[in-house]
Amino acid sequence: MKHYETPKKNLWTGKITNKWLYLHEKVHCTPLYELPEAQKKSIALLGYACDAGVHRNQGRVGAAEGPDAIKSSFGKMPNHLGSNVLLHDVGSITCSNSDMESAQEQLAEAITSLLEKKQFPIVLGGGHDLAYGHYQGIKTYLDAKKEGQTIGIINFDAHFDLQKNTEQGNSGTPFYQIAKDCKKEGINFNYLCLGIRKDANDRNLFQTARDLDVIYVMNDTFQIPLLAEITTWINAFTKNVDHIYVTIDLDGFSSAFAPGVSAPSPMGFTPHMVLECLKPIIASGKLISMDIAEMNPKYDIDGQTAKLAASLVHHVAHSVSGS
């Protein structure tokens, strides 16, 4: 595989107990092409080591190192996964010569393969351009079933990422690209964005969101006191689709929690709010895949952002497996 790197066992270190008390003791480093079809619950961690899209979008590069930082932090966390749940590190999609489009295509193929093998994919990025490849992989998998199943995208983010790709795509264009593809195919573009900031999107982006019937919640509304109302909106959204793809952009969090991102701001949302909103999404039983984007170790402080990303993965992995 051209744009692929096999798992790095040296990332998985921590306390040794010989009782699988920590996730580095639980994980299996299994190359993507050797992964068998799961016979029981199985979670696959796949990196997207690419920040070419961030560079094109004039952001701070360094997110290509994000997947390794998240895996390393995740491995040191306690393991509460049941013995009937498998956990795999299947390596990372890479990007050479700034060829983001090829990396996205490879990511799409990998996601399709993981879903066919009955894995629950968790993609670790890397620039948010990963969303275009991730969505295409899910769609290819579902289209093969020929059942007309719909996908709803829920994005935790300060940005719409609906920039129009008049030339090349970048980390700010993925959902516009998805919307264009949906229009070509005559299918609905189902997109819910939580945490949008007025100081992070220009007026053209808000107009694009309105034109595309995007459902969004502003950051000043995306607060714990309004959780019940927001949960109602999430439930209404999930009810109208067959599958949910969740994508979490770390730059949506306040830089107090996530300094190591491509576009930091102190005005973002809190981890607690995201964790609370993930509960009804997971409870719907429709979550098919998820990713975390824009982890940039170059600007992290005491591994804080990597730990936040790892904690989000920890929460989702245990929740979807019933552990």
306-322 per-position pLDDT tens digit: 999 999 999 999 999 98
Identify whether the C-beta of residue 68 lies closer than 8 Å to the C-beta of residue 309. no
Decide: helix, strand or coil at residue 41: coil
- Sheet strands (E) in 106-219: 120-125, 151-156, 190-196, 215-218
CA dist list (Å): 73 to 3, 11, 78, 298, 303: 24, 9, 11, 15, 8
Tokens of 188: 């609905």
CA distance 241 to 3: 32
Average pLDDT, the chain: 96
Q: Which residue has the tokens 């929740």?
A: 319
Query: Which residue, among 289, 273, 306, has the nearest Cα to 121 in the 3D structure?
Result: 289
Cβ 289 vs Cβ 120: under 8 Å: yes
Whether residue 126 is preceded by a cis peptide bond, meaning omega within 30 degrees of 0, is yes
What six digits make up the tokens of 84? 């009937």
pTM above 0.85, yes or no: yes
Amino acid letter, residue 7: P
Q: What pLDDT score was predicted for residue 96?
A: 87
Q: What pLDDT, on the 0 to 100 scale, is given for residue 125? A: 96
Model confidence at 166, pLDDT cuts 50, 70, 90, reads: confident
Segment 219-233 shows an average pLDDT of 97
pLDDT single digits (tens) 86-128: 999 999 999 988 999 999 999 999 999 999 999 999 999 999 9
Domain that holds residue 287: 4-320
Is the model's pLDDT at 1 over the cut of 80?
Answer: no
Angle formed by the axes of helices 130-145 and 100-116, to 10°? 40
Rounded CA separation 161/57 (Å)? 11
- Give the pLDDT confidence score for residue 32 in this predicted structure: 96
Report whether pLDDT(323) > 90.
no
Does residue 28 have a known ligand-binding role? no
> What's the pLDDT score for residue 165?
85
Share of the chain above pLDDT 70, in %: 100
Total count of domains within the chain: 1
**Looking at residue 288, what is its pLDDT?**
98
- Tens-place pLDDT, residues 10-63: 999 999 998 999 999 999 999 999 999 998 899 999 999 999 999 999 999 999
The annotation status of 143 as a binding-site residue, yes or no, is no
Q: How far apart are CA 164 and CA 132, in angstroms?
A: 13
Tokens of 142: 């579902």
Q: What is the pLDDT averaged over residues 210-223?
A: 98
Q: What is the mean pLDDT of residues 167-195?
A: 96
* Nearby residues of 122 by Cβ (< 8 Å), 6 or more positions away: 43, 44, 45, 46, 289, 290, 291, 292, 313, 316, 317
Question: C-alpha dihedral over 160, 165, 171, 176, to 10 degrees?
Answer: 40
If you average pLDDT over residues 128-151, what whole number do you get?
A: 95
pLDDT, average across residues 129-147: 96
pLDDT of residue 148: 87
Q: Give the residues across from 193 on adjacent strands.
A: 155, 216
Cβ within 8 Å of residue 211, ≥6 positions away: none
CATH number, domain with residue 203: 3.40.800.10
Q: For residues 290 and 120, what is the distance between their CA atoms, to the nearest angstrom?
A: 8
pLDDT at 89: 98
- Pairing of β 86-94 and β 4-5: antiparallel
249 is in an annotated binding site: yes
Q: How far is CA 3 from the centre of its chain?
A: 19
State residue 20's pLDDT score.
95
Q: What is the pLDDT of residues 239-296, one digit of tens each?
A: 999 999 999 999 999 999 999 999 999 999 999 999 999 999 999 999 999 999 999 9
Q: Please indicate if the annotation marks 202 as binding a ligand.
A: no
Closest by alpha carbon to 64, among 75, 55, 73? 55
What does the alpha-carbon distance between residue 27 and residue 262 come to, in Å, rounded to a whole number?
Answer: 29
Q: Which residues pair with 216 in a beta bridge?
A: 193
Locate 225 and state its tokens: 């006191």
Residues 6+ apart with CB under 8 A from 20: 26, 79
159 is in an annotated binding site: yes
